[in-house]
Copies of this chain bind each other. A is one copy, B any other.
Amino acid sequence: MRRMKETSQQAIGIFDSGVGGLTVLKAIRERLPSERLIYLGDTARLPYGTKSPASIARYAEQATRLLNDRQIKLLVIACNTASAVALSSLQKAMAPLPVIGVVEPGAAAATRARPGGRHLVLATEATVRLGAYRRAIQAADPGAEVRELACELLVALAEEGWTSGSIAEDIIGRYLEMAFEDGYRTDSVILGCTHFPLLRESIRGCLAADVGLVDSATTTASVVSDSLTERGLLNTDGHGELKFLATDGVTRFARVGGRFLGAPLTADDVELVDI
């Protein structure tokens, strides 16, 4: 599938079903401000979480092909569901292009910080059902304990932009009560949904000071940086151009996406693509 040798000037491709992965783009941009980034949101077919694994794998493959046609040097699957279902098959299909998901970096960071510890993964219902964090954490640290909690309302809160204040805190508090009601004491909380970094401060405020908070956006950005460094493909003198693609609803993508990016976007900034 690859056609040429990568150079440091090429872009990093980032793919998600919607706008959530923009938190990963933002973290990569903060870490690697010179890199060109191309983001694809497959908004026509979201949410992936309710689709069959075969469909999700097909969508992820089509998205990957589109980004690959734009000459990327590394691909980030910034979608928990697609990472859980399709990461290893995409890594094989795209080799030697590095393909990085969002699940393993978060799981690795959490187990490194608290070996043999107890972890609480906050995620969507689909991610919990797929059990990808549980598998990744226990593969990295067989002595770890894992609890997963589906927190669907946090997705809606992030999309609505109500990320701080009493409503956000009450909802987060209620979910944490559910997670801890049987006395489970966790060493770390993993934000296992790309929407949740927007709620990071509110979640931090609901946790004891000794509980670690692992954000899969920043941990994924670290893994991207390490991978490019290792291959000699870091771009240190670029202008950090951003390109946004969406498969439907560019107006909504721009409006909600701006919240995730932390900077205003207009529909003109988003190219409508067909895959």
| Interface positions of A (Cβ within 8 A of B) | 43-44, 46-47, 50-52, 125, 152-153, 155-157, 159-160, 162, 166-167, 170-171, 174, 248-249, 252
Cβ A248 vs Cβ B170 within 8 A: no
Could you tell me the distance in whole angstroms from the C-beta of A98 to the nearest C-beta in chain B? 31
Could you tell me the distance in whole angstroms from the C-beta of A78 to the nearest C-beta in chain B? 19
Cβ B248 vs Cβ A50 within 8 A: yes
Cβ A167 vs Cβ B157 within 8 A: no
- Of B47, B174, B248, which contacts A51 at CB under 8 A? B248
Cβ A167 vs Cβ B156 within 8 A: no
- Of B46, B50, B156, B252, which contacts A156 at CB under 8 A? B156
Protomer copies: 2
CA–CA, A44 to B166, complex, Å? 35
CA–CA, A125 to B153, complex, Å? 16
List the B residue with the shortest CB-CB distance to A249.
B50
List the B residue with the shortest CB-CB distance to A255.
B125
Extra 15 A-B pairs, beta carbons < 8 Å, given A44-B50, A44-B51, A167-B171: A46-B50, A50-B249, A51-B248, A52-B248, A152-B159, A152-B160, A153-B156, A153-B157, A153-B160, A153-B162, A155-B156, A156-B156, A162-B174, A167-B167, A167-B170
CA–CA, A52 to B221, complex, Å? 34
A51-B44, A249-B50 given; A170·B166 CB < 8 A: yes
Could you tell me the distance in whole angstroms from the C-beta of A74 to the nearest C-beta in chain B? 29
Cβ B160 vs Cβ A167 within 8 A: no
Q: List 25 A-B contacts (CB under 8 A).
A: A43-B50, A44-B50, A44-B51, A46-B50, A47-B47, A50-B248, A50-B249, A50-B252, A52-B248, A125-B252, A152-B156, A152-B159, A152-B160, A153-B153, A153-B156, A153-B157, A153-B160, A153-B162, A155-B156, A156-B156, A162-B174, A166-B170, A167-B167, A167-B170, A167-B171
Question: Chain B residues with Cβ under 8 A from A52's Cβ?
Answer: 248
CA–CA, A144 to B46, complex, Å? 36
List 3 A-B pairs, minimum CB-CB distance, nearest first: A156-B156, A153-B156, A167-B170
